[in-house]
Structure 1
Amino acid sequence: MGLEAVVLAVGGAFLSSFLNVLFDRMASPQFLNLLKQQKLKRDLWQSLEMLR
């Protein structure tokens, strides 16, 4: 196994770990609540803009 293959394997392992943590945090209840709040704020602003 050459150096390039080792570097690719190690890089792939780090990338996989990073993506697992990222997706776990994105699926957390706190993050999902934040997204819902942002959507509600955006919807409210759009409704207020229509009243102008």
Structure 2
Amino acid sequence: MSNERKHWALLDEHGLIYGLTVYQSLKAANKALQWCRNNLDSKLRIVELKVKEQA
């Protein structure tokens, strides 16, 4: 039996996960994105990741 959980990450313009960080909530990802927009000169976007867990 497998469960699927959602996580979110910020991707840079090259498609790499920024800061190698994965967030457990969309709210946390949005906070990180806002901080990056205020403090960095980079183009980031939020993507949803689906993680399958197998028991």
What TM-score do you get using the length of structure 2 for normalisation?
Answer: 0.27
Between the two structures, name the one with larger relative contact order (CA 8 Å, sep ≥ 6): 2
Return the structure number with greater strand share: 2
Whichever of the two has the greater Rg, that structure is 1
TM-score (norm 1): 0.27
